Amino acid sequence: MAREIQCFARVAARLSFSRAAADLGMSQPAVSQAVARLERATGVRLFERSARTVRLTAAGAALLPYAEQVLESAAAFTAEASRLARPVIHLAYPPLAGPLAARIARRMAGRTPPVAVELHAAGRAAAAAALDAGEVSAAILATPAPARFTTAARFHVTVDHLAVPPTHPLAARAPEPHLTRPSRTPRTTTPDTPRPAEALRKEPGATEPRPAESGRGEVRPADLAGLVVLTPGGRRWAGLPGHPRMVRDDDFGAALDLVAAGAGVLPIPHLLVRSVRRDDVVFVPLEGADLQITYALAWSRERVTNELLALVQAMQDALWTR
């Protein structure tokens, strides 16, 4: 019946059996026979025919929208079935790594054959639980990842700012908005690439913070002595003075809420400084701390597929190219 409906809709659009047949790649007699079968099945005459013209009957005109809806639904069914038949990778990632996850998805979609990547933003604990349950194929996790997972494609994110409340004494050292570093593509580093702070000093147009004597500048590790330093994900900032306060999971958004509430200060990557817009938090450059967060792609060693191996390669390529 679907073929007959398709022939009916095409003849109605072209008002010609011969042109409809050409469009469908069929012979004219085959199209005429299909329409005749549909008329017999429905008991309705669909077209008025003469030697030179073809036009819809009133009944045919009334049924045409339903025929078009059937064809659209059939096309949608076929497209969805095709999508479901393709391999799909489910990738969990921390919001901090969102731009990288998007690049990976684009690379996988561009493969031959393409592999769809479904992205799931998740904190460390949720991502690890999803890996264990088989709900995601892989996850970008802060290292060290749980020993039960296999990891690859490590990269570092430099932590070079400190989030403080606007009323905190260190907030006075924040650079003026027009003196902040120019916007640029978020950068991560692999073990062999230059640190972003070092690369910045070589970039044309980079602007140094206002000198300390003007009342603004940067924060040094020694300035954190005696302060509560928030540590997302249970990590400890090696060599950083102050009193650490663990923040459950690696949710920097929740940690910034604590900063705004006056519960502590937060070392934070420049990647987030560029994207977060809050009036209740001030970001001050943090110099000399040599802090970084290392991430890696993790997966269950019991669930290795060809698509997963392609994902590992895509992530490695995305880290080395932009």
Phi, psi values for residue 139, rounded to 5°? -150, 145
pLDDT at 309 exceeding the cut of 70? yes
User: Do both 275 and 250 map to the same domain?
Assistant: yes
User: Do both 39 and 72 map to the same domain?
Assistant: yes
Mean pLDDT, rounded, for 37-61: 93
Q: Are 8 and 35 in contact (CB under 8 A)?
A: yes
263-297 pLDDT, tens digit per residue, is 999 999 888 888 888 899 999 999 988 888 889 99
Q: What is the pLDDT of residue 167?
A: 93
User: Do both 200 and 262 map to the same domain?
Assistant: yes
What's the rounded Cα separation, in Å, for the pair 34 and 15? 15
213-250 pLDDT, tens digit per residue, is 334 578 899 999 999 998 887 667 877 887 888 777 67
Domain that holds residue 195: 155-294
Question: What is the pTM (predicted TM-score) of this model?
Answer: 0.61
What's the rounded Cα separation, in Å, for the pair 83 and 257? 40
How far is CA 188 from its chain centroid? 16
User: Do both 162 and 232 map to the same domain?
Assistant: yes
Q: Are 292 and 159 in contact (CB under 8 A)?
A: yes
Please count the structural domains in the chain.
3
What's the rounded Cα separation, in Å, for the pair 265 and 230? 6
Q: Are 280 and 264 in contact (CB under 8 A)?
A: no
Mean pLDDT, rounded, for 192-205: 39
Residue with tokens 């949720």: 126
Q: Are 189 and 149 in contact (CB under 8 A)?
A: no
Residue type, 291: L
User: Do both 126 and 196 map to the same domain?
Assistant: no
Sign of CA dihedral 190, 158, 90, 88: negative
User: Do both 182 and 119 map to the same domain?
Assistant: no
User: Do both 159 and 290 map to the same domain?
Assistant: yes
Provide the CATH number for the domain around residue 48.
1.10.10.10
Q: What is the pLDDT of residue 51?
A: 81
User: Do both 233 and 259 map to the same domain?
Assistant: yes
Strands (E), the chain: 47-49, 54-56, 88-93, 116-121, 138-142, 149-164, 228-232, 243-247, 266-269, 282-285, 291-300
User: Do both 240 and 255 map to the same domain?
Assistant: yes
Q: What is the pLDDT of residue 195?
A: 41
Residue type, 212: A
What's the rounded Cα separation, in Å, for the pair 45 and 20? 18
User: Do both 161 and 287 map to the same domain?
Assistant: yes
Helix (H, G, I), strand (E, B) or coil at 226: coil
How crowded is residue 151: how many other Cβ atoms within 10 Å of its Cβ?
20
By C-alpha distance, which of 144, 99, 106 is closest to 296?
A: 144
User: Do both 170 and 252 map to the same domain?
Assistant: yes
Mean pLDDT, rounded, for 133-151: 92
